[in-house]
Amino acid sequence: MRAIAAPFMSLKRNTLWNLGGSVVPLAAAVAFIPFTLERLGYEAFGVLTLIWGVIGYFSLFDMGVGRALTYQLSRLMAIGRIAEIGPTLRAGMLLTCGAGLVGAGLVWLLAPGLAKHWLKISPALQHDALLAFTIAAIGVVPTTLVSGLRGGLEGLDRFAASNMSRMGLGLWMFALPAWSVYMHGPALWVITLYLVLGRCLVLLGLGWQLSGYVCSGWVSLEKRHLKGLWNYGFWVTVTGVVGPLMVYGDRFFVSAAVGAEQLPLYAIPQEGLLRLLLIPMALTGALLPRLAAIGKEETLLAYRQSNRQVQVSMFVICSLAAALAYPVLALWLSAEFARAALPIVWVMCAGIWINSMAMLPYTLLHAKGNPRLTALFHLAELLLYLLALWILSSQFGLLGAALAWVARVTLDLILLRLAVRVLYAV
């Protein structure tokens, strides 16, 4: 009994830490978004949501190393190969730094087009937006390094330290724009500078947490450590690039279709409702290293139990979110905003429930070393999603974009469940 109870308590504890790391950003969003929206205005706030999207996107553009480190380090811990941890972490940092430099260059090149041509930003705001996107490009490197280091901490079962960093990032993501507006006025480039500096501070803290591993035995880094992470991480990278594009990329299509001034009606409900996914993400994030280390029978039992929990609990939560959407938005922002956003919220609530159920099969495939399949699914979904998003958002505006997203997550759930049924008889 003792051998079974210990992993269970570890899973429960780590899930609670993951939830804590998710609640703080949500509370910060509730507290600070109304002030920031009022001071910036709808269009500038719409551009700020795009900057959040860039930062959120590149936090996952880490060559898949964050998840690869979680997978590799949990396996090394399970078989007692402690001496391999330091070289594996250093290999991960080299790969994430390289990915960050590539991402920084990409955002830098795209910044003029985003600010001046593609997103229908008004001429008065274009210069400020250009500076903001350029500064966001500089912040890509620390962002990817933070993602990799957090994956390393979770692979070492140090979920408390990992989620303390998540709490800091989530708090600063929403508090720093409010502070910047209060102190310096509605300058987007200053807000973005604060956001990048916040990422750098978190990076220093994470580096200190892992310095004992990273700085030991420098001569022991070998090609096989890079290769092991690359073989797993390449396909996670495909998902890491394509997946966030299907989460945050719709904002850019919406802005191009209806204009940046309408974007808050879509982005604010989306930002809030996506936070509900942090509940199943807390469980699956804690479950990944455990599934990677246990046998087939235990894996199937843990999967089935967790799947039932997510399905029922998220149905209740999404139903409550749909019922409370109007009074909450009316009290939080305005009745006019709530009326305009309500149909979008209802569609997104259905999509959130569907997407939450896809997280368990997705995690199981990664835990068993099969990220290639999820990457191929996402590549196929991306083409269909972009086509549906462009057609529906052009024809039906914000509601059409929401419907396209729900169709995409439904297809994702079907493909993932079919895969785990065929491979693992679940």
Give me the residue spans of the domains in the chain.
2-424
pLDDT band at 177 (very low <50, low <70, confident <90, very high): very high
Which residues, including other chains, have CB under 8 Å from residue 313's CB and lie 6 or more apart? 279
Q: Mean pLDDT lowest for which of 14-28, 90-104, 146-160, 163-177?
A: 14-28
| Rounded Cα–Cα distance for residues 306 and 415 (Å) | 19
170 burial type by CB count under 10 A (0-12 exposed, 13-18 middle, 19+ buried): buried
Q: What confidence score (pLDDT) does residue 240 get? A: 65
pTM of the model as a whole: 0.68
Which residues, including other chains, have CB under 8 Å from residue 411's CB and lie 6 or more apart? 381, 384
pLDDT band at 244 (very low <50, low <70, confident <90, very high): low
Which residues, including other chains, have CB under 8 Å from residue 206's CB and lie 6 or more apart? 146, 149, 150, 153, 161, 165
Structure tokens at 178: 């409010």
Q: Mean pLDDT lowest for which of 204-218, 336-350, 376-390, 412-426?
A: 204-218
Residue 249 has pLDDT above 80, yes or no: no
| Distance from chain centroid for Cα 43 | 24
pLDDT band at 10 (very low <50, low <70, confident <90, very high): low
pLDDT band at 5 (very low <50, low <70, confident <90, very high): very low
Average pLDDT over residues 299-303: 85
Average pLDDT over residues 157-165: 85
- pLDDT single digits (tens) 215-229: 765 445 566 766 767
Q: What confidence score (pLDDT) does residue 2 get? A: 36
Q: What confidence score (pLDDT) does residue 6 get? A: 43
Q: What is the mean pLDDT of the chain?
A: 84
Q: What confidence score (pLDDT) does residue 216 get? A: 64
- pLDDT single digits (tens) 362-391: 999 988 888 889 889 988 998 899 889 888
Q: What confidence score (pLDDT) does residue 219 get? A: 43
| Rounded Cα–Cα distance for residues 229 and 208 (Å) | 22
Q: What confidence score (pLDDT) does residue 169 get? A: 87
Residue 4 has pLDDT above 70, yes or no: no
Q: Mean pLDDT lowest for which of 135-144, 292-301, 376-385, 407-416?
A: 292-301
Q: What confidence score (pLDDT) does residue 246 get? A: 75
- pLDDT single digits (tens) 261-292: 788 888 888 888 888 887 888 878 788 887 87
Q: What confidence score (pLDDT) does residue 203 get? A: 93
Q: What confidence score (pLDDT) does residue 220 get? A: 59
Most confident of 49-53, 130-134, 293-297: 130-134
Residue matched to tokens 């001429």: 123
Share of the chain above pLDDT 70, in %: 89
Q: What confidence score (pLDDT) does residue 271 get? A: 80
Of 165, 180, 145, the closest CA to residue 51 belongs to 180
